[in-house]
Structure 1
């Protein structure tokens, strides 16, 4: 990669990160290209060299977030082991929310306003959810877990794991964690994991190892 290509990649990354931050805080209507450029550390003219409009940038970032959600879904090599699959999924989801809270807030804000920009992305999201529901139903049918509603089980996991990003201010007050101090990811992961494993009639690895 040449220095010019590397520089271009860095600017693209800065624009993406700035867009997520500004859209998460102010929404599409409340965000200006000037604000995005300022947060990205470039001029407005430079920004418009890389994008045609904030609406196009919003769609681009929204699509990338949906793709991230698909990548985080727990359908992996551990799909034959529901306890491991659920444990790994919750761990990834919580840690992603804590590390990139504005990603969750961006997506939550879009959904909260009626999801007017989601039309191009619903099929990708639904296909991932349907695939995961199919695996959960296989677990139920084979007697690996207690019967659950496969769709609502997923939605409830999203609600719990994303809460710590979308309601970070409330969480910090209740947990006595000042701004910029890290939340206790291990504590959050452990509690959420136990909650959903128990719903399935499963046990965590730590519980199984207890004498």
Structure 2
């Protein structure tokens, strides 16, 4: 990659990172292009060289979030329920702790009626259908407790995204200062145990 292309990529990445932070904090309507440029460390004129509008930038950032979430659905080659559920919970939680702005931006979009989601739902729904089909197969094979596959997935999202959507509350309750890292292993161990137990995949469960 040439130096010029590398520089353009660095600026574009900085714009996307700044846009994620600003949109998550202030929403689409509450974020100005001047604000975005300042957060990215460039001039407003430079910003408009890289984007067509803040609305297009917002959609680009939203697409990135949805794509990332879709890509981690039951990733890996294992077909062991405990391994897959453990891996998924940890991945989802890691995203929530490392980039809480992504979850908060998505929540804001839903809160305003999701006007920018449009055709993006089908991609998410397809991934959900694939994941719930895997869970149902494990149930049918007697490899985990008979849960409601869709609600099981939704509860995983609720628990893991709590630490992003309610980051301030989580930090206050856990006694973690702003900017300090939350104890990933402590949180992950409890969340994993919760869902493995519900699935009957712990020593106290019915299946494992």
Shorter-normalised TM-score: what interval?
A: over 0.9
| Corresponding residue for residue 58 of structure 2 | 58
The 8 Å contact of residues 97 and 164 in structure 1, kept in 2 or not, is answered as: yes
Unaligned 5+ segments in structure 2 are: none
Matches within 5 A, 1:22-101: 22-78=22-78, 80-101=79-100
How far apart, in 2, do the equivalents of 1:125 and 1:71 lie? 10
| Corresponding residue for residue 163 of structure 2 | 164
How far apart, in 2, do the equivalents of 1:139 and 1:113 lie? 37
| Corresponding residue for residue 4 of structure 2 | 4
How far apart, in 2, do the equivalents of 1:132 and 1:201 lie? 18
Q: State the Cα distance separating 1:120 from its structure 2 match.
A: 2.6
The 8 Å contact of residues 136 and 150 in structure 1, kept in 2 or not, is answered as: yes
How far apart, in 1, do the equivalents of 2:44 and 2:75 lie? 41
TM-score when scaled to structure 1? 0.94
How far apart, in 2, do the equivalents of 1:117 and 1:156 lie? 25
| Corresponding residue for residue 19 of structure 1 | 19
For 1:53-89, what per-residue CA distance to the aligned partner results, in whole angstroms no more than 9, with x for missing partners? Answer: 01111111111111100112124212x1010000001
Structure 1 consecutive aligned stretches of length 4 or more whose deviation exceeds 4 Å: none
For 1:135-161, what per-residue CA distance to the aligned partner results, in whole angstroms no more than 9, with x for missing partners? Answer: 111111111111111111111100100
Q: CA RMSD in A?
A: 1.2
The 8 Å contact of residues 75 and 132 in structure 1, kept in 2 or not, is answered as: no
How far apart, in 1, do the equivalents of 2:75 and 2:4 lie? 38
Aligned residues: 204
